[in-house]
Structure 1
Amino acid sequence: MAFSKPSFYTLVHPQVFLFFFINLGCLQASASVRETDELALLEFKQGISDPHGIFNSWNDSLHFCNWTGITCGRRHQRVISLVLEGQNLFGSISPHIGNLSFLRLINLQNNTFHGEIPQQVGKLFRLQEFLLGNNSLQGEIPLNLSRCSQLKMIYLQSNNLTGKIPAELGSLMKLEIIELRYNYLTGEIPRSLGNLSSLTIFSALNNNLEGSIPNEMGQLKSLKHVIVGGNRLSGIISPSLFNITSLSTLGVASNQLNGSLPDNICFTLPNLQTFAFGENYFSGPVPNSLSNASHLEAFDISDNNFVGQVPSNLEIYRPSVAPLEMNHLLKVSYKDLYQGTDGFSCSNLIGSGGFSSVYKGFLPQVQTPVAVKVLNLEQTGAIKSFMAECNSLGNIRHRNLVKLVTCCSSLDYKTNAFKALIFEYMGNGSLEKWLHPCAEGENQKRSLNLLQRLNIAIDVASALHYLHDLCGKPIIHCDLKPSNVLLDDEMVAHVSDFGLAKLFSINSNLSLSQISTTRINGTVGYVAPEYGMSGIASKEGDVYSYGILVLEMFSERRPTDEMFKEGINLHNFVKAALPKRLLQIVDPTLLPKEIANEECDDDATMEVTTNLRQCLVSMLEIGVACSMESPMERMNMADVMNKLHLIKKTFLNIQMEGD
């Protein structure tokens, strides 16, 4: 019997075919789903202006998992993370973001996104972190956000959100952080938040919330920070809230709350570090137990109706450039600023720089003139500069620091992004204009006498001493120079422009108190030499800038003067001349006319002005000591302050004796 030759198909088991076709189908389906992610990202890109070219890699030449800001899971090659923080992006958030169904993290903070948060985010059932803070988003918080059952963090601070806090958020049982500060939210704090047993932070500072703080929040035994100052909250605070032993921050300043404080508050809140109750209607005795509050770092019960004395050990925490938490900042719109500056007219322009232009203006909410600093958002780093100033100036107050009145993050009349900082107006302009009036186009020659320069040097040193050593978290200014020192109507100096400022925690293991891996640009001539090598900010870097500023004040020579080249700088120039050749380096306007106009050596002309000579030499020596090339050899601001006060005291005593 003859048999035909078996074909390949009859030799292969049918189950092999079944396995092959099933897997082929799975591969095709997987490819289709991955294509959905790619299309969603491209739609997201379409509605955004990208000045830094972040989206240049978002093209067909690269797999989308390798695009800037994108992270994919290893198993399914699906997008799990979208991180584009601080890239100066401007635009709206596409509803197509809801198609990224494997997304666990969205971080679009510190940009200029506007429009509404799309309801489609409710489709992201795997989402854990939702970070959209510091933008210009409008509209309401999406109700559909409650469908994201895995959410742990919601950051929506510093936007223009309106409407109520959705009660539906109370169903997100894994939620740990709700950050809503600096918006325009209304209504009450939902009672449903009392269901969030994992909640550690609830912050809604500076909104328009009403009603009382829900009693149900007293059930949250993991709660560490409650920050609801600057609203319209009323009623009493539930006793249950004072029994949350984990509570570290209780900030309710600038509301309409009333009632009294429990006498045993120190024992029921053993971990309390910040207690901000100022500007309310609280009454009754000041609790005696507060004297045992060993962990308190910030304390304010001012502007209430309490009776009795604050324990002496807490007096240092009572605020006198007000309540804690940035006060209750004014709400100002683009319209307010536009009208208050006559449409940002040239006649009101008082200064300009790389990141901003500053206008003199008037606001109906403020009785005195203000300085409106409008950010140039097309300039790289402007957003970071805006955030640095807000973060630095928002929580610090000192006589010699410029006072931040409020800020504005909105859209202009052409729907372009708009950000501005509003400061107290300084009537006498910058120190730069007083030291170099001709270079600034001033028609009238202005000069500072010796006592005025002494006072300005002390004012600036006092501000730096406070920033470095006395405020809660030390702050590095990073760009100290004469144009950033402003003089008020009384010629009191105020340090301004914190666009490069860095907040840091001191590390005892680092001799330079290093605080940042971000490169510090600063200003040529004033920036410390070590910044060019390491780019790491330090207190010693600020001290160097201060030393150069002092040398400039008393020599009237810029550190960028054409004479400084081939290894000679302002520091070396002054150091080499001291103490004998003082006349060659000192500003002639500080000398008596008969000396300044003569061409002879110091010894012959300075015999009758020994005391003046001593003062000038001492000030220049401080400038030299602060601007040493090695950071370890520079003075610290506490020692500078002591020496300056001694020099001024000696100078004034000599003047009185002469009189």
Structure 2
Amino acid sequence: MWFDTNNNTVAVAAILGNQTDHFALLKFKESISTDPYKTLESWNSSIHFCKWRGITCNPMHQRVIGLNLNKYQLHGSLSPHIGNLTFLRNLDLGNNSFYGEIPKELGKLLQLQYLFLSNNSFVGKIPTNLTYCSNLEYLIMDGNKLVGKIPIEIGSLKKLQVMSVYKNKLTGGIPSSIGNLSFVMQLDFVRNNLEGDIPQAICRLKNLTVLGVGENNLSGTPPSCLYNITSLTIFYMPINNFHGPLPVNMFHTLPNIKQFGIAGNHFSGPIPTSINASSSITLLDMADNNFVGQVPSLGKLKDLYHLNLEYNNLGNNSAKDLEFLKSFTNCTKLNVVSIYHNYFGGILPNSIGNLSTELNILYLDANMISGKIPAELGRLVGLISLSLESNQFEGIIPTTFEKFQKLQMLDLNANKLSGDIPHFIGNLSQLYYLDLHHNMFHGNIPSSIGNCQKLQYLDFSQNKLRGTIPLEVFNLFSLTNLLNLSHNSLSGSLPREVGLLKNIDVLDISENHLSCDIPRTIGECISLEYLYLQGNSFNGTIPSSFASLKGLRYLDLSRNRLSGSIPDVMQNISVLEYLNVSFNMLDGEVPTNGVFGNATQVEIIGNNKLCGGISQLHIPPCPIKGRKHTKHYKLRLIALIVSVVSFLLILSFIITMYWMRKRNQKRSFDSPTIDQLAKISYQELHHGTNGFSRTNLIGSGSFGFVYKANLVPEDHVVAVKVLNLQKKESHKSFIVECNALKNIRHRNLVKIMTCCSGTDYKGQEFKALVFDYMKNGSLEQWLHPEILNEEHPTTLGLGQRLNVIIDVADALHYLHQECEHLVLHCDLKPNNVLLDDDMVAHVSDFGIARLVLSIGGSSWKDTSSIGIKGTVGYAPPEYGMGSEVSTCGDMYNFGILMLEMLTGRRPTDEVFEDGQNLHNFVAISFPDNLMKILDPHIVSRDVEVAIQDGNRENLIIEECLVSLFRIGILCSMESPKERMNIADVTGELNKIKKAFLTGVHAHN
């Protein structure tokens, strides 16, 4: 009887338990709003719940012990009734679209061993109740949006073996209680916002094999005992703020280490020589730190496949710097080697050819390596990507390069290479990127280039090439990104076959000796957006077929011998943002619509027979045909005489007032003067610019003209800004800019050298400012290539744009917070950002800057004009309503500048109509549809290789873009109070740069 009673009790308990599980599962199903694969269709009364898809039951008690619905794209919240599945051991809901908070009821699952919630959209904090699940072995919550701190109570999970919270938004520090997890083998805290030190207690984890704390805000010097955890195989801590040297013998105590990644920190000192003892290392990434000295021998790392030492201070430009490359002979699995951007000098050893034929990527660029490129390099037949750019290599391209049958990218630009471009280049049929620009190659362009039918990017610019352009170049139908043959000595005509390049985006053949007519077939290049033909000897008329280029945004025809009129149909190119026809022999009436309706987008100087156009172009009106002196004409003549007389009276009054004020020696803040700035004579400037010749002209604008000058006897190349004194307020602008730039010094601000204030040879007043010459022109020319100088820019990559943004932000930080007196720039825009030889950005043009001084408890603003407050599109909306200038206004300028750099669109783009603007254009697509607004011309080696979806490194670069767009949006908010300040911006940008570099290094 006792047994019957007991069995009945068990039976009743089983029935009740089954009912509880059944009800909990139905409640779980109710919380699911989307089930695209119809996974839960089987969850009905027709079959027992133990047979439902994804359910595993205990065969004895028919209780649910497993719920596995991974990768079914379920969308919904997680029902708290899940906590009633008290026999549950395995809960796997990874790779779905669950949202909302993780229910605290999970803490009731005391038998739970495996919890997988990765790659969903859970929010809120990690429930402290989870620490009641004392049997938990796997806690996987990566790829969500969790916030708050890691619970201190996590240390109570004594059986925990794996914990991953990768890619969330967790804050606070790593709790010391983590040291109680004596069985833990893997800890992954990567890509959160954790801060503080790594706790000493982590050294108690003697079974730890994987430690990932990278991409947080952690700081300090990692505890030395960390390097004594002999079980470690993966040590991943990049993109933090760790500092200090690495222990000399650290690799002796890490015998099992396979992957060692510490890129993007502040580690310093030499690379430990003990690294050669870690024969198991496969990945070594120490990029973007402050390591110095020589690289030790790595020959014993026989399994090494990835080596990244980019962005350090390694080497000292000595002959021994590259000795370590000889030790790679034993590294037969080596796949990636990058020592980009260090101080390695000397000659590239012939032993480079002994590296593994498995090597795919070799980046030696941006160092000081000299001598000839060794022929032995051609033995590396497995190379896919080779970059030797920005070194001091000389001589010819070795003939052994013909063996690179797998090569897709070859970058040799900015060296001293000479000789002919070899004919065998056409045998490298897999090339999609070929850059030989800025060398000393001569001879003809080899016709064999036509065999490279996969080329998308071809740059032979800034060499000494001569002869005609071979027709085979125009049979490269694959060219979509760039064809740049500029700054050579090419002659002959531009063949009509140019029309075959239907998919080309950028075509640049400027600064050559090309002649004859511009072929009409160029109108068949239907994808063309940027076309540079300036600095040649083209004659004939401007082809009306240009109107067929519906996507054309920039067209430069300046400094040719074109004649005839400007075709009216060109005003129908709706997206054309810039047109330069300066210094030709054009005549006739200038159109007034389209691009011609904005004087800032059209350059027409040097065509004396042009007439008409909008008034802002300041060219004579066209003569009225067939009309004699009528009454109307006489009235106009009388009005003109009256105007002249009035002008003379006003001028007489101004001169009288001028001499009266000049007698008054007392200075006042209402009449600022140029403070003790060294002067230069008009004669010196006239001589240095060859009489202000048009060949020295490198820029123009409403202020006047900018010329390139060579001052003697210093033999110093400078830029001379000659002011247009006919323009209102130009005198005061001159004084303000002199005084502002005289008193400020920063690496990202343009340096004023001297000024000139006097008269020219005709006795007319002359004023000019002299600055350091910026070889790479303005940011405007790179974002929207409008070439007026001798150096032609190519498209800026994402990494370069990020560097420019940071440079401008640093300059603004200095002006707002580090100057003795606050300086408000008031006119940040691409035209006012100049780039030096190293592509470092310098903020310029302080003609309308405000110098805010504190005088007697009140402030005084030195400004060029009360009415001028910036440029349309860049000036904040409050300035248009009469508000005083402020730092918030500068931040708006900066935000719009950022968005323009990221989208490639000007704030005055014609697409912005009916209240639309650049800020709203971006905000609407942020953050889900960034590809719709991202400038398609951001072409960077950093992201040259296609990356598969879901790749961690790809996500890093995507999140960098999201962060950059977010800053641009916040800085350009309509309300000044909602905008970010410059201190917060610079802090965020530095984090973004570290993250970006990690993504780039990982790809490479």
- TM-score for the superposition, normalised by structure 1: 0.51
> Match for residue 319 of structure 1?
603
Aligned counterpart in structure 2 of residue 244 of structure 1, from 525, 531, 537: 525
Matches within 5 A, 1:408-427: 422-423=717-718
The alignment partner of 2:562 has SS state of strand
> What's the CA shift for 1:167?
0.7
> Match for residue 404 of structure 1?
708
> What's the CA shift for 1:116?
2.2
> What's the CA shift for 1:156?
1.4
Q: Quote the Cα distance in structure 1 between the aligned partners of 2:382 and 2:461.
A: 29
The alignment partner of 1:173 has SS state of coil
Q: Quote the Cα distance in structure 2 between the aligned partners of 1:620 and 1:218.
A: 52
> Match for residue 619 of structure 1?
862
Aligned counterpart in structure 2 of residue 99 of structure 1, from 379, 397, 410: 379
> What's the CA shift for 1:226?
2.1
Q: Is 1:632 equivalent to 2:927 in the alignment?
A: no
Change (3 A) 1:309 1:197: same
Matches within 5 A, 1:168-179: 168-179=448-459
Matches within 5 A, 1:169-568: 169-200=449-480, 201-263=482-544, 265-266=546-547, 268-313=548-593, 314-315=595-596, 316=599, 317-319=601-603, 368-369=687-688, 396-398=699-701, 399=703, 403-404=707-708, 422-423=717-718, 454-459=732-737, 478-480=748-750, 483-484=752-753, 486-487=755-756, 490-496=766-772, 498=774, 503=779, 516=804, 529=817, 539=828
> What's the CA shift for 1:251?
2.0
> Match for residue 577 of structure 1?
856
> Match for residue 50 of structure 1?
317
Q: Quote the Cα distance in structure 1 between the aligned partners of 2:857 and 2:818.
A: 25
Q: Quote the Cα distance in structure 2 between the aligned partners of 1:69 and 1:167.
A: 34
Aligned residues of 2:555 and 2:579 also touching (Cα < 8 A): yes
Quick check: which has more Rg, 1 or 2? Answer: 2
For 1:182, give the aligned amino acid. Q
Aligned residues of 1:176 and 1:198 also touching (Cα < 8 A): yes
Q: Quote the Cα distance in structure 1 between the aligned partners of 2:438 and 2:734.
A: 35
Change (3 A) 1:116 1:521: farther
Change (3 A) 1:144 1:303: same
Change (3 A) 1:196 1:453: closer
> What's the CA shift for 1:219?
2.0
For 2:717, give the aligned amino acid. I
> What's the CA shift for 1:491?
4.4
> Match for residue 85 of structure 1?
365
Aligned residues of 1:223 and 1:246 also touching (Cα < 8 A): yes
The alignment partner of 2:416 has SS state of coil
Q: Quote the Cα distance in structure 2 between the aligned partners of 1:304 and 1:544.
A: 30
- TM-score for the superposition, normalised by structure 2: 0.35
> What's the CA shift for 1:100?
1.4
Q: Quote the Cα distance in structure 2 between the aligned partners of 1:544 and 1:217.
A: 39
Q: Deviations over 1:165-211 (max 9, x none)?
A: 11110111111222122211100000112321112222111211011
Change (3 A) 1:116 1:421: farther
Aligned residues of 2:522 and 2:546 also touching (Cα < 8 A): no
The alignment partner of 1:139 has SS state of strand
> Match for residue 560 of structure 1?
none
The alignment partner of 2:417 has SS state of coil
Gap regions ≥5 residues in structure 2: 1-298, 306-314, 341-355, 608-680, 691-695, 723-728, 759-765, 785-800, 820-824, 834-841, 871-883, 895-1004
Change (3 A) 1:453 1:247: closer
> What's the CA shift for 1:103?
1.0
Aligned residues of 1:369 and 1:424 also touching (Cα < 8 A): no
Aligned counterpart in structure 2 of residue 60 of structure 1, from 327, 349, 354: 327
For 1:129, give the aligned amino acid. M
Q: Deviations over 1:547-596 (max 9, x none)?
A: 99975xxxxxxxxxxxxxxxxxxx7xx4263449xxxxxxxxxxxxxxxx
For 1:112, give the aligned amino acid. Q
More strand by share: 2
Q: Quote the Cα distance in structure 2 between the aligned partners of 1:162 and 1:262.
A: 32
The alignment partner of 1:233 has SS state of strand
The alignment partner of 1:85 has SS state of coil
> What's the CA shift for 1:519?
6.6
> Match for residue 328 of structure 1?
none
Q: Quote the Cα distance in structure 1 between the aligned partners of 2:517 and 2:430.
A: 34
> What's the CA shift for 1:286?
2.4
Q: Quote the Cα distance in structure 2 between the aligned partners of 1:312 and 1:461.
A: 39
Aligned residues of 1:115 and 1:139 also touching (Cα < 8 A): yes
Gap regions ≥5 residues in structure 1: 1-31, 39-47, 71-75, 324-359, 372-392, 408-419, 428-450, 464-475, 507-512, 532-536, 552-570, 581-616, 639-659
Q: Quote the Cα distance in structure 2 between the aligned partners of 1:129 and 1:146.
A: 14
Aligned residues of 1:252 and 1:277 also touching (Cα < 8 A): yes
Aligned residues of 1:265 and 1:287 also touching (Cα < 8 A): no
Q: Quote the Cα distance in structure 1 between the aligned partners of 2:757 and 2:368.
A: 34
> Match for residue 142 of structure 1?
422
Aligned residues of 1:107 and 1:130 also touching (Cα < 8 A): yes
More helix by share: 1
Q: Quote the Cα distance in structure 2 between the aligned partners of 1:548 and 1:230.
A: 34
Q: Is 1:69 equivalent to 2:312 in the alignment?
A: no
Q: Percent identity?
A: 22
Q: Deviations over 1:410-438 (max 9, x none)?
A: xxxxxxxxxx98335799xxxxxxxxxxx
> What's the CA shift for 1:406?
9.2
Change (3 A) 1:292 1:105: same
> What's the CA shift for 1:367?
7.5
The alignment partner of 1:137 has SS state of strand
Aligned residues of 1:57 and 1:67 also touching (Cα < 8 A): no
> What's the CA shift for 1:303?
3.3
Change (3 A) 1:575 1:92: farther
Bigger mean CA offset, 158-167 vs 221-230:
221-230
Q: CA RMSD in A?
A: 5.5
Q: Deviations over 1:502-527 (max 9, x none)?
A: 84879xxxxxx986476789799956
> What's the CA shift for 1:621?
12
Change (3 A) 1:394 1:54: farther
For 1:282, give the aligned amino acid. L
